[in-house]
Amino acid sequence: MNRLVFAFLVFHCGYGSAQGLDLGTISYSPQFISNLSANCNETSGLVYDNDTIFSINDGGNPAAIQAFSASNGQPINEWQVGNAQNFDWEALTLNDSVLFIADIGNNAGTRNVFDIYRVLRQDLVASVQTVASVKQSFRFLDQPTLPLTVNAHNYDAEAIFYFQDSLHVLTKNWENLWTRHYVLPCIWQDTLLISPRDSFYVNGLVTDAAYSAQDNKLYLLGYKKEPSGLYSSFMYRFTDFNGEILASDYQRIELGSTLSLAQTEGLCIAGPEMLFISGEQIASIITIAPKLHFINFFELLGNTKNSAKKIYFHDNTLFIPKDALPDFLLLDANGKEAIEWVLNKNQQDLSALAPGTYYLIGPTHRQTWIKRY
């Protein structure tokens, strides 16, 4: 049977428009709630609804949805998903009537067709054990020919969120540590062919995303391998989100080691500036149980947002108070000083620097800047 291949988005050269402001990097320690039960060992996606958190496990596990308490992590229910296969389930998102399950993982680089399962929210009740689903499939227009190199390519994905009547997918780029942003409709027929809308340098691996409609913020969750060989977890917080990541102001938030958080894979919104994150079990030299943590950014951001907005990069210019210049250095990727400040100016022109990665270092301040042109 012939398949309809429909390009939902027009490919934009460079994927995006002018980049938003980099508000710097801060640190935050999430509040531990509990270890999760064994049926959530590989928790890979979360959504929150009325003090209940819904989760899924990733590939190799049953096609099932788990529910547990947001207050203590204790199991509430589990539903088998009919007409579905868990090839590599990685993310969840909700709209008013549908729970979307994203079967989009591709660590091994062996797939070029990805699936979204639609489950009616009204079916997730305690009186049933199995819920029906509808599968919809899509492909990335820009994906190279298979096979790709295991854990060393840019066509894996573990993040999806709902925004303005559309589904938004973010890739997990093993090779270059960026993420690409794709948009899909909520309902389609046959196999959809999609093009990237914009992209963003994450400096890590994106494992989930969640959009807060209450205050128009987008959050990304991920982890990164450190020089020590251990992994740390991070988030990005995008403010005044308008559908394009690059156009939003953003802040990186370091969350700490995966040794305490587990492998951070799930993220959901509980309210303005309030989120839950889950970490799947780590079974290596040591075993770390799957975990649930809570994040409340109100107090932290209230203390940092004013100072952060005073120091930022925009259009190849660093905006920084002139009296702070003696305490700051701009380093290149080799750790060498990239520029000498022009003193007594609140703006430093960086247009003469070569494209690349730079680091602004100061007292209790560190900030990564990518010069693209």
- Strands 249-257 and 22-27 come out as parallel
pLDDT, tens digit (0-9, with 9 covering 90-100), for 302-327: 544 444 457 888 888 999 999 999 99
Q: Any idea where the domains of the chain sit in the sequence? A: 5-306, 311-371
By mean pLDDT, which of 111-125, 229-243, 250-264, 309-323 is the weakest?
309-323
Structural fold of domain 5-306: Neuraminidase (2.120.10)
The reported pLDDT for the residue numbered 4 is: 40
- Strands 205-212 and 217-225 come out as antiparallel
The reported pLDDT for the residue numbered 13 is: 36
Q: What is the mean pLDDT of the chain?
A: 91
- The answer, yes or no, to whether residue 121 has pLDDT greater than 60, is yes
Cβ burial 1-13 (10 Å sphere, 16+ → b, else e)? eeeeeeebbeeee
By mean pLDDT, which of 121-125, 199-203, 360-364 is the weakest?
360-364
pTM given for the model: 0.83
d(CA 140, CA 123): 31
The reported pLDDT for the residue numbered 5 is: 39
Q: Residue 235 pairs with which residues in a beta bridge? A: 221, 253
The reported pLDDT for the residue numbered 300 is: 66
Report residue 74 as tokens.
């204790």
The reported pLDDT for the residue numbered 310 is: 73
If pLDDT is split at 50, 70 and 90, which confidence band does 275 have? very high
What three-state secondary structure class fits 38?
helix
